[in-house]
Structure 1
Amino acid sequence: MRELPKELILPEGFVPPEIPDPPVTPKDAATVMLVRDTAGGLEVFLQRRVMGMAFAGGMTVFPGGGVDRRDADTSLAWHGPSPAWWADRFSCDVGLARALVCAAVRETFEESGVLLAGPDEESVVTDVRPFGEARGQLVNRELSLAGFLAESGLVLRADLLRPWSNWVTPVEETRRFDARFFLAALPVGQRADGATTEAADTRWQRPTEALEDWKAGRVGLLPPTWTTLAELEECASVAAAAGRERKIEKLMPRVARDGDVLRIVLPGDPLYDGAASHLDPS
Structure 2
Amino acid sequence: MFSRAPVNGLKLPAELREQVEGILDGSVQPAPARHAATVVVLRDHERHGLQAFMLRRVASMAFAPGAYVFPGGSVDPRDGEADLAWSGPAPSEWGTAFNADETLARELVCAAVRETFEETLVLLAGPTGETVVDDTRGEDWEADRQALLDRSLSFGGFLDRRGLVLRSDLLRPWAHWVTPAIEPKRYDTRFFVAGMPEGQRARDVSTEADRVAWVRPAEAAERARAGEWFMLPPTLATLAELAEFETVAGVLAASRDIVVQEPHAEIIDGEPYLVLPEESAHHYPRG
Q: Answer yes or no: same fold by TM over 0.5.
A: yes
**Residues 6, 263 of structure 1: 8 Å contact kept:** no
Partner of 1:184: 194
- The count of corresponding residues between Structure 1 and Structure 2 is 267
Quick one: which of 84, 90, 94 aligns to 1:76? 84
Partner of 2:117: 109
| Alpha-carbon displacement from aligned partner over 1:75-131 (angstroms, at most 9, x marks no partner) | 110000000000000011000000000000000000111000000011100011242
Matched, 1:25 2:32: yes
User: How many Å apart are 1:14 and its aligned residue?
Assistant: 8.6
User: How many Å apart are 1:191 and its aligned residue?
Assistant: 0.8
**Identity across aligned pairs (percent)?**
48
Partner of 1:35: 42
**Residues 15, 173 of structure 1: 8 Å contact kept:** no
Matched, 1:50 2:58: yes
Mean Cα deviation higher: 169-178 or 123-132: 123-132
**Unpaired stretches in structure 2, ≥5 consecutive residues:** 282-287
* Structure 2 counterpart of 1:36, one-letter code: R
Quick one: which of 84, 88, 96 aligns to 1:88? 96
User: How many Å apart are 1:262 and its aligned residue?
Assistant: 5.2
**Residues 9, 261 of structure 1: 8 Å contact kept:** no
Partner of 2:264: 254
Partner of 1:125: 133
Tell me, in whole angstroms, the C-alpha distance in 2 between the residues paired with 1:46 and 1:262.
Answer: 30
Quick one: which of 238, 242, 262 aligns to 2:252? 242
Tell me, in whole angstroms, the C-alpha distance in 1 between the residues paired with 2:228 and 2:41.
Answer: 22
- Considering only aligned residues, what root-mean-square deviation do their CA atoms show, in Å? 2.3
| Alpha-carbon displacement from aligned partner over 1:143-195 (angstroms, at most 9, x marks no partner) | 11000000001000000000001000011111110000000100000011011
Partner of 2:276: 266
Aligned pairs for 1:194-273 (under 5 A) are 194-257=204-267, 263-268=273-278
User: How many Å apart are 1:208 and its aligned residue?
Assistant: 1.3
| Alpha-carbon displacement from aligned partner over 1:206-264 (angstroms, at most 9, x marks no partner) | 01111121122211111100100000000110011111100001110123455697543
User: How many Å apart are 1:16 and its aligned residue?
Assistant: 7.3
Aligned pairs for 1:136-175 (under 5 A) are 136-175=146-185
Tell me, in whole angstroms, the C-alpha distance in 2 between the residues paired with 1:5 and 1:155.
Answer: 48
* Structure 1 counterpart of 2:180, one-letter code: P
Partner of 2:108: 100
**Residues 12, 274 of structure 2: 8 Å contact kept:** no
User: How many Å apart are 1:23 and its aligned residue?
Assistant: 1.6
Tell me, in whole angstroms, the C-alpha distance in 2 between the residues paired with 1:229 and 1:268.
Answer: 16
**Could you list the runs of 4 or more consecutive aligned residues of structure 1 that deviate by over 6 angstroms after TM superposition?**
none
Q: TM-score if structure 1 supplies the norm length?
A: 0.88
Mean Cα deviation higher: 174-183 or 18-27: 18-27
Tell me, in whole angstroms, the C-alpha distance in 1 between the residues paired with 2:150 and 2:215.
Answer: 29
Q: Secondary structure at the match of 1:125?
A: coil
Partner of 1:12: 13
Q: TM-score if structure 2 supplies the norm length?
A: 0.87
Q: Secondary structure at the match of 2:111?
A: helix
